[in-house]
Amino acid sequence: MVGILEISFSLMIHSINKDIVILGSVGIFTLMVGAVLTHFRMKNGITKYLASTAMLTIAFSILFFTI
């Protein structure tokens, strides 16, 4: 389910419509916040949640520069 959402949101980011890009970046941002919090609660090492932290930063950047 999460993979389908990630693919859907990433396709939304490639849209021409600004509202759809915002929706896609907010969706990925929300999923990555959940991923980082889950990795943190499970006390995983930094290498385990480095990818989700990077994607969180990228999604925030896209959202910031789109608005």
Rounded-to-integer distance, Cα 27 and Cα 50, Å: 19
Tens digit of each residue's pLDDT (9 = 90 or more) over 5-29: 999 999 999 999 999 999 999 999 9
- pTM (2 d.p.): 0.89
What per-residue confidence (pLDDT) applies to 20? Answer: 96
Rounded-to-integer distance, Cα 43 and Cα 39, Å: 6
Q: How far is CA 64 from the centre of its chain?
A: 13
